Structure 1
């Protein structure tokens, strides 16, 4: 017999009735605020074409590495879930793949994915029974029927979710045609891009050779000379600003920065281009490029996001068959104090520069990140990210950084997702956790209710707008360095 889907209104609020009542009151102030999503990986073509999504499997399961990494850990083959490989989309029947997922939905109990998906099932699609092997066909058919309607096209969902701004992520070697098409369409939804140069910065990235060739073509510069390479970045950053970008994003293996002279940088660049690529040289070049990107941000105003600490493609066999971003990225120990010192020594006291730091290494919260952000005017702390985008992860973040960095050296929440339908669910979790955290402050008489009411709105809405300069026009023609 199908079990009811119960999605309680008090989820994630404290068990103590007094504190829970305060959390409810605070959450009511932010529940319906517009969503600011300043960092994510949704596909801009969804919004440029506004074509209907295909089916439940291809929308909710096959693109979501949070889901299939769990299923893979239980011995389920990715091809049976219709996850695309390097050879393309497998010919697995979508209904069969969905049933396999539904039969194993119990694996997600107590995980963030359970919260996100049941929000989508309950609030977006209106289901009142749980997903299971018994209800798999009902889910598949009803979701597909709704996806075929105009109300479930990407732009309609964007409006329904009350999204004020959504940022995608593109590389300097990639086209911005979909962003131009969105603007030319006359649609009022604000979808912007972010500048992610990793593929043309990291000589150890398997995309590097092809990306550099494309970088040269789209920028019109000689990217194989040091001066031309830097000018190509300036040119593409201006293109991105014209397409709405307010930020850059850097997913380096470590937080290392460097402060080489121009001659040293050029010599290193040319040595790497000639094929003398060692891990040490590749790391030093990535480190120098963070400093170069920071200098460019002083010219054009783009906010820097540094997302270090992921060991990419840990499962080599899976990478060779399926490519990157298939759930095999693993957090690594990450050091910030010495790593950032060259960049901060050069530019860290200039309040015109804004750098948002993220981590997958929670041991750095109170020891390194909070003291750094609590001192340098250039630094802010990004929210709990990726593996820590969870109720417990968010609460650990607040508890460990607030005492040193405060709340206003953080930037609210961003969802960092490819899963479009999960965006309101993820923001709802963040708003509930922040309401619970502040409710405890009020209950313990560490903050009065009026202060908490102001703060919860700031965390949900004002801080991300300020941190990402979403109300500040940037120049699309930065000065040359």
Structure 2
């Protein structure tokens, strides 16, 4: 039965001289507050300060990295509490036992790195997960989360998260965010993020119902294209008034085009009637992405794009458990030609900001960095989702730094629903960036004092500038 101790030099360079520099850089950023400008923690957890139920619903069920690996090993998602499935105490223990029985599958993965960081650093459990330690680890975590000092608000303080952005439906009344903003006892920033994807997809079978609801909450008549656009503008302003700093967009591609208003209105009417063709629906969605950029120049929301996911790849899983249940798969992506129309219109517009994320790392050096190296509006988003692993983060730094340095990037994005993994993920990024900077210093490509300032800026001023914080 092994131990899960955390080595103080984990992820730092192996070369002794370079490691010494990296240690000093990491020491400067280790305890700085966390800025998390893109994530998926439910705001009601914080507004209601909801106690966590059990180890499985806290650590396993919300983390698609964990449950998709277990599913690949043959564990049914229903046994893991995925997709809203409710587990009783026995079910939650059984799900945790599945993780412990398959813990060896995670060797060498960032998932194991993060979870060991959590188990040791947060819960004080120092034995390696295994079938023999399943009950002991479950009981230890359950004991910790039962304490008053383990409520979500206490964890915001413990993790020192200064800014946490959530991801929210345009029709959300943002009552939880309003409650937090009005609470004088809570001094952390929890910001909504405008996520309009499904309202911009005219090919969806429920599109008419969605925009009808959009009309209800906005007070606009979405029976017409003009009313539809006005409703989106209305909700964006509402989000901005409630603290939002960005809008978040994820579609199959980032191809952009501009339709004549009469043509957009014709396709929109067809979409409401269910008669628009697939090509017409795609054209309107691409047109609406440009409209989102136009609106961003007016309301100031930073526009973030993260295309390149084949959503809901396994239809039986979608039918049984719903979306966001581990079977979104990356696909090849293209930015330069696709965004040319949008950037021709708004790439140099005052105040417009566009952060480009990708699941296709081949575009970092070929397209995203060169775009960010010319357009004042464009920033290179950090590796996220399938790319937020040590080697991929290193490749990202190597791919973009030659073209845009450090100050045209977004800062680290944890992009997680797994609340307790946030400090582990940000710490990983700080260690990796310290190592990357240390190698530049060791190669005499960067002065140590400059590396020190960059290390601090990467977790403070750079994300703050990119997201208008």
Q: Which TM-score applies when normalising by structure 1?
A: 0.95
Q: Deviations over 1:99-156 (max 9, x none)?
A: 1111111111111111110111011111121111111111111111111111100000
Aligned counterpart for 2:141 among listed residues 125, 128, 143: 143
Give the secondary structure class of the aligned counterpart of 1:436. helix
Given that 1:395 and 1:437 are in contact with CA atoms closer than 8 Å, whether structure 2 keeps it comes out as yes
Residue 271 of structure 1, CA deviation: 2.3
How many residues matched? 467
1:113 aligns with 2:111: yes
Q: Distance in 2 between matches of 1:219 and 1:443?
A: 57
Q: Which TM-score applies when normalising by structure 2?
A: 0.97
2:283 is matched with: 284
After TM superposition, the structure 1 stretch with the greater mean CA deviation from structure 2, 151-160 or 289-298, is: 289-298
Q: Distance in 2 between matches of 1:383 and 1:153?
A: 30
Q: Distance in 1 between matches of 2:446 and 2:155?
A: 37
Q: Distance in 2 between matches of 1:56 and 1:147?
A: 8
Are residues 185 and 207 of structure 1, via their aligned partners in 2, closer, same or farther at CA, if it must alter by over 3 Å?
Answer: farther
Q: Deviations over 1:145-184 (max 9, x none)?
A: 1111111000000010001100001111223121122223
Given that 1:173 and 1:212 are in contact with CA atoms closer than 8 Å, whether structure 2 keeps it comes out as no
Q: Distance in 2 between matches of 1:237 and 1:390?
A: 33
Q: Deviations over 1:375-416 (max 9, x none)?
A: 111100110010000101100101011111221111111111
Residue 207 of structure 1, CA deviation: 5.4
Given that 1:247 and 1:303 are in contact with CA atoms closer than 8 Å, whether structure 2 keeps it comes out as yes
Spell out the pairing of 1:396-411 with structure 2 (5 A cutoff): 396-411=395-410
Q: Distance in 2 between matches of 1:252 and 1:144?
A: 39
Given that 1:374 and 1:406 are in contact with CA atoms closer than 8 Å, whether structure 2 keeps it comes out as no
Given that 2:220 and 2:228 are in contact with CA atoms closer than 8 Å, whether structure 1 keeps it comes out as yes
Give the secondary structure class of the aligned counterpart of 1:57. helix
2:262 is matched with: 263
1:188 is matched with: 187
1:321 is matched with: 320
1:58 aligns with 2:57: yes
Give the secondary structure class of the aligned counterpart of 1:93. helix
Aligned counterpart for 1:101 among listed residues 99, 102, 122: 99
After TM superposition, the structure 1 stretch with the greater mean CA deviation from structure 2, 243-252 or 272-281, is: 272-281
1:170 is matched with: 168
Given that 1:250 and 1:308 are in contact with CA atoms closer than 8 Å, whether structure 2 keeps it comes out as yes
1:89 aligns with 2:68: no
Spell out the pairing of 1:118-267 with structure 2 (5 A cutoff): 118-186=116-184, 187-205=186-204, 208-267=207-266
Q: Distance in 2 between matches of 1:211 and 1:13?
A: 48
Q: Distance in 1 between matches of 2:202 and 2:327?
A: 21
Give the secondary structure class of the aligned counterpart of 2:317. helix
2:431 is matched with: 432
Runs of 4 or more consecutive aligned structure 1 residues displaced over 4 Å after TM superposition: none
Given that 2:297 and 2:350 are in contact with CA atoms closer than 8 Å, whether structure 1 keeps it comes out as no
Q: Distance in 2 between matches of 1:93 and 1:441?
A: 50
Q: Distance in 2 between matches of 1:84 and 1:379?
A: 35
After TM superposition, the structure 1 stretch with the greater mean CA deviation from structure 2, 168-177 or 181-190, is: 181-190
Residue 185 of structure 1, CA deviation: 3.0
Give the secondary structure class of the aligned counterpart of 1:71. helix
1:13 aligns with 2:12: yes
After TM superposition, the structure 1 stretch with the greater mean CA deviation from structure 2, 155-164 or 58-67, is: 58-67
1:41 is matched with: 40
Q: Distance in 2 between matches of 1:441 and 1:53?
A: 43
Consecutive unaligned residues of structure 2, counting only runs of 5 or more, are: none
Residue 205 of structure 1, CA deviation: 4.1
Given that 1:83 and 1:90 are in contact with CA atoms closer than 8 Å, whether structure 2 keeps it comes out as no
Q: Distance in 1 between matches of 2:151 and 2:200?
A: 36
Give the secondary structure class of the aligned counterpart of 2:263. helix
RMSD of equivalent CA atoms: 1.4
Given that 2:303 and 2:354 are in contact with CA atoms closer than 8 Å, whether structure 1 keeps it comes out as yes
2:76 is matched with: 77
Residue 206 of structure 1, CA deviation: 5.8
Give the secondary structure class of the aligned counterpart of 1:328. coil
Q: Deviations over 1:60-82 (max 9, x none)?
A: 11121111100111111112222
